[in-house]
Amino acid sequence: MVPIIYWFSCGKYTCRIIADSDISKFFPGQWIGKAQTLQSPSETITINLEKSAFGDYERTQNGWFLRRSHERWQAVYSQHERVLFAIESLSKDEIKVNVDNYSEKKIRLGIQYGLMTALYQKCFGLHGVTLVCGNEVIICSAPSGTGKTTLAKLLEKHCDAIIINGDFALVTPSEDGVIFEPTPFCGSSGRSLNHRFRVNRVVFLGQAKENQWRELDGREAVIRFLSNAFVPDWDKCMMQTVQENIIKCISMLKVNEFDFAPMQEAAEVFLKKVKEDTSFYSE
């Protein structure tokens, strides 16, 4: 196969993917039509996607395993003792992603984690639904299965909310505030608007029988961000940098916790609390 280059806009950044020409057959559905043939003027991150046998790779039951060789490193990601992909450093702005064979899941996760690793000095990835609600841009973050998508759909149906991205937020702290960078990584939702937004608030979600809303202090906020963000903890310097970016974001955001029961009332309470909070915190 002849290598071919695909371009994806990620707001301030551009992801350049170099891979075999047949890779597009395995792109997630929401990526179709988003690949570009020309380089945009934004900062470029290169992802070299290659096939590689993982027979001799060490691995964990679930999670990351690090392999080091001189100045280079390779982080191997496994699920149920099976390697899904490996990320290898090539240079400051270039990452190699190895998969044993092409599949939508491996391509999506490999490129997503490769991009976050390459950009760790500037931004970080947060698992969550991003939406516009009550004149604010809000990221609702929580582990899978908590009800993020359910709440987002309730807000959209009953509170005139607009979903920007259904699964993933690439977040950049800047002089202009906390910026949401658009990406095509949006899980199965297919919701991924290609616009940059200034984020006003992050709400960490939990399940409960009754709706409960509260503001988190700095310590609580850091813990919740670290639990839901991609933190490359195989490298102390990288891990520290991501933590510093998280703390910068917290200083410019309102951070709340919302435990809820997945019903219409929860969406109404959510909107009410957002509108009641008129404090100006991110000038």
- For every one of its 283 residues, what pLDDT tens digit does the chain have, with 9 covering 90 and above? 667 888 888 888 888 899 888 787 887 766 655 555 444 556 889 999 998 877 767 777 678 888 776 667 888 898 888 888 999 988 888 999 999 888 888 998 999 999 999 999 999 999 999 999 999 999 999 988 888 999 999 999 999 999 999 999 999 999 999 999 999 898 878 888 888 999 999 999 999 999 999 999 999 999 999 999 999 988 888 999 999 999 999 999 999 999 999 899 999 999 999 999 876 444 4
- Give CA–CA dist 169/215, Å, rounded: 21
CATH of the domain at 165: 3.90.228.20
| Residue 34, SS3 per DSSP | coil
One domain, residues 151 and 272: yes
Q: How far is CA 91 from CA 107, 109, 225, in A?
A: 21, 20, 28
One domain, residues 136 and 271: yes
One domain, residues 94 and 165: no
Q: What are the b/e assignments for 12-43, b being 16+ CB within 10 Å?
A: bbbbbbbbeeebeebbbebbeebeeeeeeeee
**Cα end-to-end distance, the chain, whole Å:** 52
Angle formed at CA 220 by CA 141 and CA 60, multiple of 5 degrees: 65
One domain, residues 142 and 242: yes
58 lies in a domain? yes
Instruction: Select from 81, 100, 118 the last residue of a domain.
Output: 118
The range of the structural domain enclosing residue 91 comes to 3-118
One domain, residues 139 and 113: no
Determine contact, residues 140/128, Cβ cutoff 8 Å.
Answer: yes
Determine contact, residues 166/149, Cβ cutoff 8 Å.
Answer: yes
- Give CA–CA dist 98/183, Å, rounded: 21
- Give CA–CA dist 102/84, Å, rounded: 10
87 lies in a domain? yes
Provide the whole-model pTM.
0.90
Instruction: Select from 118, 147, 175 the last residue of a domain.
Output: 118
pLDDT at position 29 is: 65
One domain, residues 209 and 175: yes
148-158 vs 264-276: helix axis angle to the nearest 10? Answer: 80
One domain, residues 89 and 144: no
- Give CA–CA dist 82/79, Å, rounded: 5
- Give CA–CA dist 89/215, Å, rounded: 39
* Phi and psi angles of residue 38, each rounded to the nearest 5 degrees, phi first: -120, 145
If one counts the domains in the chain, the total is 2
282 lies in a domain? no
202 lies in a domain? yes
DSSP line for 106-150? HHHHHHHHHHHHHTTTT-EEEEEEEEEETTEEEEEE--TTSSHHH
281 lies in a domain? no
